[in-house]
Amino acid sequence: MQPASAEPVAEPVMAPAPASAPATLPVIAPAAGLLPPSIALDGLFAAISAAHIFADAKTAADAVPDRAPGDLLAAYEQAKAQSGFDLNSFVAQHFLVPQQRLVSYRRHQDESVREYIDGMWDVLSRPPDRPPAYSSLLPLPESYVVPGGRFRELYYWDSYFTLIGLSESGRFDLLRGTVRDIASLIDGYGHMPNGSRTYYLSRSEPPFFALMVDLLARHDGPGAYTNFLPQLQREYDYWMEGADGLAPGTAHRRVVRLADGTVMNRYWDDRDTPRDESYPQDIATAAASDRPAAEIYRNLRAGAESGWDYSSRWLADGHTLTTIHTTDLLPVDLNSLIAHLQQTLAHAYGLRGDQAQAQRYAQLATERIAAIRRVLWDPAQGAFFDYDWKKQALSPVLSVATMVPLFLEAATPEQARMVAATARARLLRAGGLVTTEQATGQQWDAPNGWAPEEWMAIMGLARYGQDDLAREIAARWTARVVTTYQKSGVLLEKYDVVDPSVSPMGGAGGGEYPMQIGFGWTNGTLLGLMNRYPAIVPPSVPVPNAPPPSVASSNAPPSAHD
């Protein structure tokens, strides 16, 4: 373990962890090189980005060179020295550009949204990945589901909410395959990357693997916990690396020890360079700031690890991207997920008969939940907030992440009651819960609502007996999504929940890319909500063979694993 420091500097990407998967889990060779294109292709990648050859910067990161990076760089240096060199022509000659698979599913006349979702699983599913040489894509042993649009690979936290829908549709083949793919990545690289690309290896995303195992265990039985215990443990070790021996008031990678000795987690990235998939945007953001560029890049990357890229949650002044300081914050949702992971480890070790480890992780979960209730709670506002560990103060930004401790049963009953009241007063809008109260132009702010947050809020409220508000949010969100579907014939990544009349395509904006169609987590959670609350589905959309609410009520994993 590296010595703890107050704030580590540009650390190298961790070497792949040795694979030690269960005998039933396929182990595949990692992608050659493992370097992201921005490093493997050195100045060529930067030149492609600077020239804005592709409308979407991610296309350059996904393009496949026709030869080894070293050979291609030599060819580039030779070609650009020639008179009349044209970079566009060079790229066209030497790169295979991935084609974005548009939504090819065609809605039938009078087709319900439920039928659309069932049809979309095959559209969004992908076979096992055996990437060509020099591709940034990571190999995967089994079929899986992509979010849709530009997101043409496996993503981490997106997958959990997609798996909810696969479970509802009875597609346990794809559910199981996706979980096993993620387990294979954890085995191969020591963690589940942001997505299955080499340029995502330096970070993860919100750790939902334990909740995926919860879903699978409901179908396959409790053996799922012991089968995937090695990966659950490896996931935990990744997030907690460096915690032992960390001095009070200091941080190392994803762990922070507060002045009183409390250990909590933050988001981080092992690189401090522009993101490959957003290279020109990151360079522009750093250039507009008076802070060191590496500091900006690190915090942009950490914000990407949060999945909330980007939000006023991470902005020091509440609205300007150049003030991003993600690594200073202890996020309420991340720490709730770590507590659930600790509970899951306790449960899995108990099933294996290792009572010492089971008791150890149960105690760690108890301590983490106590820290969430103490450090991240503001009784005056009746909500959970992120905590700035450097300023030793709560963030001023109220976000829908305040609902996650309810979803994972980390709140007290009184805290849950107060959170419900605060959410109703400050976050509830015509189309569901707004992500934050701020309208900054960032996509994880007002006026946008997002399927995973709506789902966790609804399920969390229901768990604490706040059924009226849970149903109201479900009704407003479902009406927003289904009404847009009736007008456009598609489901989207995010929606404007403040003014649902803005556009038939949702009206939600912000972010680094156009609206995406598909869309995995919207499909999955909408199906779960329609099954739990069949009466809220707009009457023009038929609900054939809807299971009773009791079936869908088991979608979200309890912390008690009963």
Active-site amino acid positions: 309, 493
Distance CA 71, CA 349 (A): 50
Residue 210 near residue 192 (C-beta atoms within 8 A): no
Nearest-Å Rg of the Cα atoms of the chain is 23
Neighbours of 355 (CB within 10 A): 11
Helix 467-488 and helix 451-463, axial crossing angle in degrees, nearest 10 = 150
DSSP letters, 204-215, are: --S--HHHHHHH
Distance CA 25, CA 23 (A): 6
Q: Which is nearest to 267 in space by CA: 328, 186, 195?
A: 328
E strands present in 363-407: 377-378, 383-384, 387-388, 393-394
Q: State CA 235 to chain mean position distance.
A: 15
Q: Which is nearest to 452 in space by CA: 498, 491, 404?
A: 404
Q: Exposure of 529 by Cβ count < 10 A (0-12 exposed, 13-18 middle, 19+ buried)?
A: buried
Question: Which uninterrupted H or E stretch holds 367?
Answer: helix 355-375
Distance CA 403, CA 455 (A): 10
Beta bridge partners of 96: 64
Phi, psi angles (nearest 5°) of residue 129 = -95, 125
Contacts of 189 (CB under 8 A, 6+ apart): 14, 16, 17, 30, 201
Please report, for residues 111, 485, 495, the alpha-carbon distance to residue 505 in angstroms, rounded to integers and kept in the order given.
18, 8, 8
Residue 234 near residue 190 (C-beta atoms within 8 A): yes
Looking at residue 234, its amino acid is R
Distance CA 236, CA 255 (A): 11
Residue 187 near residue 234 (C-beta atoms within 8 A): yes
What is the 3 state secondary structure string of 167-203? Answer: HHCCCHHHHHHHHHHHHHHHHHHCCCCCECEHHHCCC
Question: Which uninterrupted H or E stretch holds 88?
Answer: helix 87-94
Find where tokens 């026709």 sit. 66
3-state secondary structure of 271: coil
Tokens at 110, concatenated: 């009078």
